[in-house]
Amino acid sequence: MSYAKWILMIWLMSLLAGCNSTTGGSPGSGFKLMTPKRATAIYIAKNDRVFAEEVASNNRTCRRSKGCQK
């Protein structure tokens, strides 16, 4: 399959799946604010710093986004 046909096929699949939407979305349609219990948050911060930073990043984005369920 040629490169152009491959790109066209991927674009059509995303179109059919609704992945190319540019609208704001409805509340709860995307992702969710992560609220671990205090003990869990402390454990994660001590033992998996990368994941703790990902949770913090998710929550910062969630607070600004209409597509995030709060």
pLDDT tens-digit map of 2-29: 767 666 667 656 655 654 445 555 554 5
Query: With contact defined as beta carbons under 8 Å apart, do 33 and 27 qualify?
Result: no
- pLDDT band at residue 31, thresholds of 50, 70 and 90? confident
User: What is the model's pLDDT at position 20?
Assistant: 42
Average pLDDT over residues 29-55: 87
**Do 24 and 66 contact (CB within 8 A), yes or no?**
yes
pLDDT value at residue 69: 75
Q: What is the pLDDT of residue 32?
A: 86
Nearest to 59, CA basis, from 40, 37, 36, 33: 33
Place of tokens 């607070």: 63
Radius of gyration of the chain (CA): 18
Q: How far apart are CA 41 and CA 56, in angstroms?
A: 10
